[in-house]
Structure 1
């Protein structure tokens, strides 16, 4: 098996488990968990905030550790942390125990991505790196797409679901230990990256895209409930469509190489804006589900674009290059969610999604500055 196929396959599976199961599945099972443990909206909000903080700390630590101890050790740690957190969720006897377990499980996502970028940089041919990285990144969608049907199929059995997820993560830890290289990433210079022009533009673009995406990531269920009267089943179906659509994000590397990163960036920001408007305005069930799939494709494609952008901006430090864009997306999501909530409460769905669609388009003002093939424009 070639290094690209081996590392790409393991990375795709690791990202699917950490994001789709360890981080995002909690929201799908939250009504059932709340019914048994009595969390309430306040504690649920604290848990969500804690999961974000865990992600930010973990991705910063992951970038540093990958440069110091190597990709394999950090990637295996991500799988083990995911397994421990999800086992804790499955066994949780109290809200406090559950909260700690959810934060632990969610932090695995921050650990998982930087070592995969480093493994690709160290073992995959230059001409296959963008494709391999974006295939790995598309694992997010596979996990999301699988978690939706699982939640619908075993309604009421959330402990069993998380126990199964934890077992999968343990198996994946063993596979990762066997399949990934142990070499360190980059020069090992450590510290924060220099704020060069490409890095600053990446931060601005990824912040705005992350903020815009919260219109559906955080409020998609509420929007379809208000416009279409959908309950949990409809929201789960929308989630599944988002996940399936996101698999198209695996093509980000190929499209960026053929048409140039900036063109692909602007095109999918446009699609992100259109999908947010379509779901928020709720013209009908069919259009809404199609828009959900378009949103998934655009979101994962754009995260792949920011991944490539970061790696080009910091070619000697791939783990840190990935971290910059992904951390800024998360910061943008943290800022965007409360803003959208306030707009939704004060202005209604239509104006709110219009504002957030405009934020997505505004991100297109910031250019990476390289034409196809990575040649400066």
Structure 2
């Protein structure tokens, strides 16, 4: 074994596992738990669809602000500090939701829980770029991003247990908070060995990313953020309002949606290999078509197994594959600024996250959920109409 190769393999396993745990908590129950429990929370706190949209947007605003703060903390303290801050926020936020006496405390808990996603993922791009060999980076980044799938599936399983056993939704959120504390300890053990990155070289700053090749990433990120946030916030509610699916309790609908979502999202583990086999243009177009198909199915056939399982599975593929694409696409285009470029991609995603549910919540009340989801489905189709292969080939041929 060559000198340093053993360390690279060790870092590959430890960072991939730590990142997987961090994203499982922060992007699973932390970021998506509110959408999973919307029916129960709406009943407990008398939330209208518009209010659901506003609370969801507030959570995604926390994600947006945390992304900006994480970059500052990363530059000053290294990847350990922002990741641990995010997991602490997840534990606090989910704990607040579990004991919330009113909608105000609920909203605060959702806000803190969602900030964890902004704090806890992008620093891994920096750690992976510096500690893992170039050939292993796409696989490591795919494994880290796909932690979300397991987190969502397990959160869905917890919600299904709640329905089947009659336990309180508050207990589920308390369990989520305990899991967040466990991930916090595990990441502390893994990341304390990763030192702070060297100071950025001259010209390696936000302004250096204002380049034409960044525009496609920003566009993809914004559309991805809008589509995924609308689905997460309202799909389970729409299917529930349509009396669920044949043969299953209506109360089990949200759990089934998120279990299918999470399990199908495990396809994200194959993103690095699919990119090698298919190329980035084909892979990205497939991910966008999955998002459009997901929204269309839930709009047109919400009261069927096709509408539930089919839309949730396509959305899981859309979210996990696109997340992994953004991670290695930005790292490939800007190898000197892997975390900063990925942060810009996620800021575009967060902007879609904030704007999408706020508008969608109002549309749900006025034109109906079906029309709202059809408009959502049109967004990735419009993106595909203007996106050119040459933009994506630039990423494939960029120097490592």
Question: What TM-score do the two structures reach when normalised by structure 2?
Answer: 0.84
- Specify whether residues 192 and 92 from structure 1 end up closer, same or farther in structure 2 by C-alpha distance, changes over 3 A only: farther
- Specify whether residues 102 and 198 from structure 1 end up closer, same or farther in structure 2 by C-alpha distance, changes over 3 A only: same
Aligned length: 376
Structural mapping, 1:75-154, within 5 Å: 75-154=83-162
Segment drifting more, 353-362 vs 273-282 = 353-362
Measure the CA separation in 2 of the matches of 1:118 and 1:19: 19
Measure the CA separation in 2 of the matches of 1:267 and 1:161: 35
- Specify whether residues 183 and 374 from structure 1 end up closer, same or farther in structure 2 by C-alpha distance, changes over 3 A only: farther
Tell me, yes or no, if structure 1 residue 220 matches structure 2 residue 235. yes
Measure the CA separation in 2 of the matches of 1:272 and 1:360: 7
1:182 matched residue in structure 2: 194
SS at match of 1:197: coil
CA offsets, 1:56-110, max 9 Å, x none?
1101111222122111222122222211222233333444333323211211111
**Do the aligned residues in 1 keep the contact of 2:18 with 2:187 (CA within 8 Å)?**
yes
1:44 deviates by 4.7
2:396 matched residue in structure 1: 374
SS at match of 2:209: coil
For structure 1, list consecutive stretches of 5 or more residues without a partner in the other structure: none
Measure the CA separation in 1 of the matches of 2:83 and 2:93: 15
Tell me, yes or no, if structure 1 residue 196 matches structure 2 residue 211. yes
Measure the CA separation in 1 of the matches of 2:219 and 2:324: 16
- Specify whether residues 143 and 284 from structure 1 end up closer, same or farther in structure 2 by C-alpha distance, changes over 3 A only: same
For structure 2, list consecutive stretches of 5 or more residues without a partner in the other structure: 1-8
1:334 matched residue in structure 2: 354
Measure the CA separation in 2 of the matches of 1:166 and 1:192: 38
2:341 matched residue in structure 1: 321
CA RMSD, aligned part only? 2.7
- Specify whether residues 274 and 147 from structure 1 end up closer, same or farther in structure 2 by C-alpha distance, changes over 3 A only: same
2:297 matched residue in structure 1: 278
- Specify whether residues 18 and 352 from structure 1 end up closer, same or farther in structure 2 by C-alpha distance, changes over 3 A only: closer
SS at match of 2:213: helix
2:226 matched residue in structure 1: 211
Measure the CA separation in 2 of the matches of 1:169 and 1:346: 38
SS at match of 1:183: coil
- Specify whether residues 252 and 115 from structure 1 end up closer, same or farther in structure 2 by C-alpha distance, changes over 3 A only: same
1:267 matched residue in structure 2: 286
1:290 deviates by 2.5
- Specify whether residues 347 and 173 from structure 1 end up closer, same or farther in structure 2 by C-alpha distance, changes over 3 A only: closer
Question: What TM-score do the two structures reach when normalised by structure 1?
Answer: 0.89
Match of residue 40, structure 1, among 20, 38, 47: 47
1:252 matched residue in structure 2: 271
2:317 matched residue in structure 1: 297
1:159 matched residue in structure 2: 170
1:233 deviates by 1.3
Measure the CA separation in 2 of the matches of 1:258 and 1:222: 38
